[in-house]
Chains A and B, each alone.
Chain A
Amino acid sequence: MMIFGFLAQTLRIAMPYLFASSGGVISERAGMIALTLEGYMLIAAFTAALGSHYAGPWVGLLTGVAGGVAAALLYGVCCIRYRANQVVVGIAINLFAIGITRFFLRLIFDSSSNSPRIAGFTETGTGFAALALNPLVWLGLLSLPAVGWILFRTPFGLRLRAVGEHPGAALSVGVPVQRVRWIAVAISGAFAGLGGAYLALDQHQFTDGMTAGRGFIAIAATIFGRWHPRLVAIACVLFAGAETLQIQLQGAQLVPSQFVEMIPYVLTIVALAGVVGRAVPPAALGKSEV
């Protein structure tokens, strides 16, 4: 019984990571750095709460995705159309997301902390039964396999990987590099948008800064999983499992919570430093010039 509770909670915590890192893999495989995931998710959580507040959870799901895609298009305009620096714009979009959601929280809901309670797909519950009733959970479980299928089983996926590894070569054989990047960035916004919608609908409200660094954990999972959907999925579950363990053992005081928080970040640095098989990013990652 304990073990089911543990697994269910792990799955619940892993959901936003699975969604956002799906976006991370697609974006970075096309050469676009995914530092923006946190911002996409936060904006999406807000628009999802807005949609659900006025028209129910299904509309909230759609407005959440729309919010994530809109944020991604802003990134695309700056870094694909105008070839601005991806790191700078990425960090600025995260700052923008914090500010704009707070502003509209005041404007629309007249609060500086949270939205009113909104309808979700399920009433608050933590077991498998509650998870199975939530359509977003099923989408979340399918998201990374879907990304894997797109990347390695479709012609578009082949082009996308070519654009991320060697845009010049891709261009010379007729791949529309900029268009592929636009599509990749839009898809990553949609995935992160689902992650944001999941958060808001699962917690039945939007709260200020509710993504709380989950976008960065998704980036950590993307890198630790070496930009490969199967490994990224394992990383997401691993990180979520560590968090669950920490929550469930809180009373026991075995390891301070701050040290559990560090796990994803430490593992990512270890992976990048290459102690056991270095994580090598797509060759053209972050290079806006073709």
Chain B
Amino acid sequence: MRAKLEEALLPPIVALLIALIVGDVLILSFGQSPAAVFRLLLEGTWGNAYGFGQVLYKATMLTFTGLAVGLALRAGLFNIGAESQLAAGGFAAALVGLVLPAGLPALLVLPAYVLAAAVGGGAVGIVPGVLKARFGAHEVITTIMLNFIVLALLNYLIAERFSVHDTLHTAEIKSGALPRLADVFPAFHGSAANTVLFLGVLVVAALWWFLFRTRAGFELRAVGLQPRAAEYGGVRVGRVWWTSMALAGAVAGIGGLNYVLGYKRYYEEGFGAGAGFLGIAVALVGRNHPVGIVIAAVLFATLSQGGLAVNALVPKQMVDVLQAVVIISMATAVPEVRRALLAIRPAASAKATA
């Protein structure tokens, strides 16, 4: 147990330390004091209700995309397509919003929106799953290529068909408006945090239950650990591949509601703003565990929002660099820590990693 805990906690600590050092160098190169910048970063995120609301909003988005990446990784698949799955989900929900009559209460139409977003994202996710199961096409390449294809298609549909004149967004959704947190707690005023947050908590719990308490979840994890052994044990590996990719896409798609239904109430070109790619980082740091993913999402959301808070002192792009450094050092530290622990305590660690 102790070895397992060390293996889970050491890499993120190492990664954060390295990011801190790189951050110091960047801040000093800009002639600022690291202490002042990091203090401002914390004050601008956890120090006031507005900043905290923004962190919650971004963390919600990243939780969905992180889950989409992490779930697929549990099945042994690299889902680099969360960016387009998120966009497709948001777009599908916005389309449903254009069709539904105005004024229907949220509770009545919410299932329709969730379903639309899940179907939109799932439709994008299922393609690489099927291509992998049927033709053996590597999902890393197909998901990357699909990102470009789907985003170009959505941009076309927005530009030529659905946009309000002179904008890149659809008309506003008239039904099922979800309250923002600011409607209940005025302190959050102006922040984008909204009730899709609770939908996120629900999805986290559901996925935890699915992964660790159901037969299908067990099969999914078995395929991820050792597809041949799973196949020998009677699991249909190809089917697990495409169903898990469809599910991952659906989860990312539902994340689109955070913007489309909870925040702006329309679909806008580029609303994901890289959340799909950061989802890879979130899944990695969160070790593909639903709870770990939530923690990692909050961490990365804090960095994203913190960048805006410190922009007066250093360019906000500093945090983009730091996020990349966290991913790189985390990816490098994970196998290295495992090897180091194995070298120190061969027996105990071997049991933990087996």
A interface residue numbers (CB < 8 A to B): 33, 35, 74, 77-78, 82-85, 87-89, 91-93, 95-96, 98-100, 102-103, 106-107, 112, 213, 216, 219-220, 223, 256, 258-259, 261-262, 265-266, 268-269, 272-274, 278, 281, 286
Contacts and interface: CB of A to CB of B under 8 A. Distances in A.
Interface of B: 26, 29-30, 78, 80, 131, 134-138, 140-142, 144-146, 148-149, 152-153, 155-156, 159-160, 274, 277, 280-281, 284, 315, 317-321, 323-325, 327-328, 331-332, 334-336
A261 B134 CA distance: 26
A272 B138 contact: yes
Contacts of A258: 152-153, 155-156, 159
10 contacts: A78-B331, A84-B332, A96-B321, A99-B323, A103-B318, A107-B30, A219-B144, A258-B152, A258-B156, A272-B138
Contact of B148 (A89, A112, A256, A265): A265
A42 to B, nearest CB: 12
Nearest to A272: B137
Contacts of B315: 102-103, 106-107, 112
A216 B336 CA distance: 29
A93 B148 CA distance: 19
Contacts of B140: 33, 35, 87, 286
Nearest to B324: A96
Main secondary structure of the interface of A (DSSP, over half): helix
Given A258-B155, A273-B135, A106 B317 contact: yes
B156 A216 contact: no
A266 B80 CA distance: 16
B328 A92 contact: yes
B146 to A, nearest CB: 7
A87 to B, nearest CB: 5
Tell me what chain B mostly uses at the interface: helix, strand, loop, or mixed: helix
Contact of B277 (A74, A95, A259): A95
A84 B331 contact: yes
Nearest to A102: B317
A89 B135 contact: no
Nearest to A213: B148
Looking at B159, B281, B324, the one whose CB has the most chain A CB atoms below 10 A away is B324
The CB with the most chain B CB atoms within 10 A, among A78, A83, A269, is that of A269
Given A268-B145, A272-B137, A274-B135, A89 B331 contact: yes
B152 A262 contact: yes
Nearest to B317: A102
Contacts of B148: 213, 216, 261-262, 265
A102 B321 CA distance: 9
A78 B328 contact: yes
Lowest 7 A-B CB distances belong to which pairs? Answer: A99-B320, A96-B324, A92-B327, A272-B137, A99-B321, A258-B156, A102-B317
Nearest to A273: B135
B281 A92 contact: yes
A143 to B, nearest CB: 23
B78 A256 contact: no
Contact of A95 (B138, B149, B320, B335): B320
Contacts of B138: 272, 281
A99 B317 contact: yes
Contacts of B137: 269, 272-274
Contacts of B334: 84
Which residue, of A74, A84, A85, A286, has the highest number of chain B Cβ atoms within 10 A?
A84
Nearest to A78: B332
Contact of B280 (A74, A91, A103): A91
B320 A223 contact: no
Nearest to A112: B315
Contacts of B327: 88-89, 91-92, 95
A103 B277 contact: no
A88 B331 contact: yes
A265 B328 contact: no
Contacts of B319: 99
B145 A220 contact: yes
Given A93-B328, A96-B321, 19 more contacts: A78-B331, A82-B332, A82-B335, A84-B334, A87-B78, A89-B327, A89-B328, A89-B331, A91-B80, A92-B281, A92-B327, A95-B327, A96-B325, A100-B321, A266-B145, A269-B145, A272-B138, A273-B131, A273-B137
A82 B334 CA distance: 10
A27 to B, nearest CB: 14
B248 to A, nearest CB: 16
A87 B323 CA distance: 16
